[in-house]
């Protein structure tokens, strides 16, 4: 199993001297290239120069796919809405992602200019790593995902979250995503919830919502 020091990733910079970072985690069976093409589609005019980092998850057997080996942040043991969680895999990947964040901080990007984002299983990792992260990050963007281990939420927090989900999602039920976001909102976390008439994927309207939210999180007051 790869260690936390060996996560490979795709990097896309929107300028020569990025002052902000978005670490974007892919879903089950995909890889870091999955959302690479979205960067030019985001209207980031007026935003600071951003380094987008798209890590590749470790390769492991996935139980629900008959043990097929693929990129996965953790094993999926069952499809039930109250699914059991592979805590060992979850913690291994969490350590790797935390190291990736630490590397960006060491490169000179402060935590309050780093956003952690993820789709599906990557969104579950975003919750798991981002909620307790110290120092707090600039924001968490969770797309079509859920709290894999709700106990990671210890109380109220101040990190803004954008949580998006398709109403027609057959993979991660809408109710599962909504209940996770509601749990955080009820505890006082600043959650923006958006849903779309879409299956398990990104709706075109989401691109605009993501763009706006990124600029709100990463632009300094007074920036155009």
The residue annotated as part of the active site, out of 93, 120, 144, 180, is 120
Could you tell me how many residues make up the chain? 224
Check if 120 is active-site: yes
Rounded Cα distance, 141 and 127, in Å: 9
Q: Are 172 and 142 in contact (CB under 8 A)?
A: no
Count Cβ neighbours within 10 Å for each residue of 128-140 and write b for 16 or more, e otherwise. bbbbebeebbbbb
Q: Does 56 participate in catalysis according to the annotation?
A: no
Q: Cα(117)–Cα(145) distance, rounded to whole angstroms?
A: 11
**What tokens were used for 160?**
């803004």
> Active site includes 200?
yes
Alpha helices in the chain (DSSP H): 87-106, 121-130, 174-186, 204-218
- Token digits for 79? 């499809």
Q: Which of 34, 75, 86, 169 is catalytic?
A: 169
Rg (CA), the chain: 16
The active-site residue, picked from 13, 200, 209, 211, is 200
The residues that are catalytic are 120, 169, 200
């Amino acid at each position: 199993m790869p260690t936390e020091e060996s996560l490979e990733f795709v990097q896309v910079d929107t300028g020569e001297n990025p002052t902000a970072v978005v670490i974007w985690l892919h879903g089950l069976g995909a890889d870091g290239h999955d959302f690479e093409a979205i960067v030019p589609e985001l209207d980031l005019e007026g935003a600071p120069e951003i380094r987008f980092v798209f890590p590749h998850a470790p390769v492991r057997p996935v139980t629900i796919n008959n043990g097929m080996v693929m990129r996965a942040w953790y094993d999926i043991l069952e499809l039930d809405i109250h699914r059991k969680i592979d805590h060992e895999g979850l913690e291994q990947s969490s350590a790797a992602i935390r190291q990736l964040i630490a590397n960006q901080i060491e490169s000179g990007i402060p935590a309050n200019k780093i956003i952690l984002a993820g789709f599906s299983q990557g969104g579950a990792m975003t919750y798991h790593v981002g909620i307790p992260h110290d120092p707090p990050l600039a924001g968490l963007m969770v797309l079509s995902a859920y709290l894999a281990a709700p106990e990671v939420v210890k109380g109220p927090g101040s990190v803004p979250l954008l949580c998006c989900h398709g109403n027609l999602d057959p993979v991660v039920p809408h109710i599962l995503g909504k209940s996770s976001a509601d749990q955080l909102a009820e505890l006082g976390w600043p959650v923006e919830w958006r849903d779309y008439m879409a299956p398990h994927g990104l709706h075109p309207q989401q691109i605009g919502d993501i763009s706006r939210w990124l600029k709100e999180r990463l632009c300094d007051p007074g920036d155009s």
